[in-house]
Chains A and B, each alone.
Chain A
Amino acid sequence: MDVIQVEDLGKTYPRGTVALRDVTFRVARGEVFCLLGRNGAGKTTLLRILATQLKPSTGKATVFGHDVVHEAKAIRARISVVPQEARPQMMLSAYDHILLMGLIRGMSRSDAKARTKEIMEEFELWEHKDKLTADLSGGLRQRVMISIAFMMSPELLFLDEPTIGLDPLGRRQVWAMIRRMTKQGVTVLLTTHYMDEADKLADRLAIVDRGRMVFLGGVDEAKAVGGNGMRVIIEPIARNDGTREILSPKSNEEIVEIVQRGLDQGRRVTFQPPTLEDAFIQIVGGSIDEENS
């Protein structure tokens, strides 16, 4: 069953900025769906519309079958959000934040306390429980914000660049948490600039550029956009002995031809699997070319 359905969604801000144009996609239950795009591409606008924080201008979007504009109340009880650049109150502790959010959202005091402890232990925040967030590192602060979102065990989680500022271990903790949640049937929609994050987490992804969806599909499909996706590197065996060529063959015949040429020249030939970053640059670059033409 689809948790999110978006059809021809568009958004023009009151001052005339067009942020989204005719976006259509679906997200299934338990899926991790990544929105990729450059700064200002429209990712956050799209996420905010689906999280019922922003009104769309055209088209239709439903979450759990409920319209995001007219039935927002039914959606809000089942979602949680980590907004972009959200930050905790410096004079409150991590424990205060998580506990109070539970209480505000209607948990009983005893349930809120128990859940706060559980979440803080899972995120390795318990040892910092009494410290003011002013005394925590940037990564720990971000973990506090993510813990707030996990507090209510949502069915759908919106994460807007959730691992910005986290160290590599902190990022992996968040990824592990997201994977654990999706195993329990939680759906995740996240925006990110980190291609490795999308590569590791996404079941499917959409690339948004200048408000348009320029790619929709799986990670491997994205990587295969530039042909078979394989890169062949021909380089001298000794350093500083000639130039280095990076080639993207379009067919198996072309691969054989390149390899033969490299070996004939006595150079080293290596294969590099395609990366999501290459695909992203190729797709977004293509869309820039289309805009300019």
Chain B
Amino acid sequence: MKRIREALYIGLFDSLPLLRDPMLLIVLSMFSFLPVMFIYLFAGAGDTFNASLVGAIVLSLAFVGLFSAQSVYFNKHWFRFQDIFVASPVSPISYAIGLSVSTLIVSLPAVILAMALLLIGVPRPIWDILAVVAVSAILWIATLMIGFAIGASTKNTRRANSLPQVLGIVLGFLPPVYYPLERLPGFLQPIALLVPTTHAAELSKYYFGLATIPDWEIVFGWLYLIAFTAVMGLIVVRRAHWVDP
């Protein structure tokens, strides 16, 4: 209980500046909804539009996960709050969970809006919705791990700011997140399957009945997401230090 309380207050401490000045929340929501708006304008309300809403969920979560790099970096090297927490009874797990929860608060408006629009457009049974939530959660954790690894490794403010943005484009806009996998030329499809957001988007579209994918791809998608998260987790464990070496 003590650790949960600790984590929630750290989350509040980290996210309160954003909640006080919600411009970034609006920008993030607009970022992930911009392709949705274009698709609505050109394709109208239909399966393509609904599929783009799945893209908005995936991109919102991927973005905030990657941007945890900034929280980690700035709390360690700029504000030095990490040093204050290290020299206190706060546990590193609470600290990591706190920063993670903070990113979730930032992404929730966009995710809830996209999810609500999807459920209005394509009502689904609760198990399918839970599957989408699970896929989203794994993707969020995976991108958090990437963000933590970047934030813990870099000692350069510019890199801590620019890397998540570049990776956001690589993971969010280039792979088939807003558009179907089949739209990619055949030789690019296997490459797209190396990107975790492709699997998250494909699986979510599948559970919302917006795409048909073979059984092997469903199993492979889940396994790939879990394995990717585990590998990123191992990298974070190696790169991030509570007590500096």
Tell me the minimal C-beta distance from B5 to chain A in angstroms: 8
Structural contact, B13 and A53, CB atoms closer than 8 A? no
Chain B residues with Cβ below 8 Å from A91 are 16-18, 20-21
Chain B residues 212-232 with CB under 8 Å of chain A are none
Q: Is A169 an interface residue (CB 8 A)?
A: no
Q: Is B78 an interface residue (CB 8 A)?
A: yes
Structural contact, A148 and B87, CB atoms closer than 8 A? no
Structural contact, B243 and A54, CB atoms closer than 8 A? yes
Given known contacts A81-B83, A106-B6, A76 and B243 CB-to-CB distance under 8 angstroms: no
The 8 Å CB contact of A88, one of B79, B88, B243, B245, is B79
Structural contact, B86 and A52, CB atoms closer than 8 A? yes
Given known contacts A53-B243, A87-B79, A104-B10, A96 and B16 CB-to-CB distance under 8 angstroms: yes
Q: Is A276 an interface residue (CB 8 A)?
A: no
Most buried by A among B10, B20, B21: B20
The residue on A at minimum CB distance from B12 is A100
Structural contact, A92 and B243, CB atoms closer than 8 A? no
CA distance A85 to B80 in the complex (A): 8
Q: Is B173 an interface residue (CB 8 A)?
A: no
CA distance A72 to B2 in the complex (A): 19
Q: Is A180 an interface residue (CB 8 A)?
A: no
Q: Is A73 an interface residue (CB 8 A)?
A: yes
The 8 Å CB contact of B244, one of A48, A79, A101, is A48
Structural contact, B88 and A86, CB atoms closer than 8 A? no
Given known contacts A55-B243, A55-B244, A96-B16, A87 and B78 CB-to-CB distance under 8 angstroms: yes
Given known contacts A89-B17, A92-B20, A100-B9, A76 and B87 CB-to-CB distance under 8 angstroms: yes
Structural contact, A104 and B9, CB atoms closer than 8 A? yes
The residue on B at minimum CB distance from A45 is B244
The 8 Å CB contact of B245, one of A55, A81, A83, is A55
Interface size for chain A: under 10, 10 to 19, 20 to 34, or 35 or more residues? 35 or more
The residue on B at minimum CB distance from A69 is B243
Chain B residues 12-27 with CB under 8 Å of chain A are 12-13, 16-18, 20-21
Chain B residues with Cβ below 8 Å from A48 are 83, 244
Tell me the minimal C-beta distance from B32 to chain A in angstroms: 23
Structural contact, B9 and A103, CB atoms closer than 8 A? yes
CA distance A76 to B9 in the complex (A): 19
Structural contact, A92 and B17, CB atoms closer than 8 A? yes
Most buried by B among A14, A72, A89, A148: A89
Tell me the minimal C-beta distance from A98 to chain B in angstroms: 11
Chain A residues with Cβ below 8 Å from B185 are none
Q: Is A90 an interface residue (CB 8 A)?
A: yes
Tell me the minimal C-beta distance from A285 to chain B in angstroms: 32
Structural contact, B6 and A104, CB atoms closer than 8 A? yes
Structural contact, B87 and A80, CB atoms closer than 8 A? yes
Chain B residues with Cβ below 8 Å from A280 are none
Structural contact, B12 and A79, CB atoms closer than 8 A? no
Tell me the minimal C-beta distance from A113 to chain B in angstroms: 14
The residue on A at minimum CB distance from B17 is A91
Chain A residues with Cβ below 8 Å from B9 are 100, 103-104
Chain A residues with Cβ below 8 Å from B89 are 73, 76-77, 105-106
The 8 Å CB contact of A105, one of B21, B80, B88, is B88
Q: Is A158 an interface residue (CB 8 A)?
A: yes
Question: Could you write out 11 A-B pairs with CB less than 8 Å apart?
Answer: A52-B243, A73-B89, A79-B88, A83-B80, A86-B83, A87-B79, A91-B16, A96-B13, A96-B16, A104-B88, A106-B89
The interface of chain A, by Cβ under 8 A from chain B, is 14, 48, 51-55, 72-73, 76-77, 79-92, 96, 100-101, 103-106, 132, 148-149, 152, 158
Apart from A51-B86, A53-B244, A55-B243, what are 8 other A-B pairs with CB-CB below 8 Å? A53-B83, A54-B244, A73-B89, A76-B88, A80-B87, A96-B13, A104-B10, A105-B90
The 4 closest A-B pairs by CB, nearest first: A91-B17, A86-B80, A83-B80, A81-B87
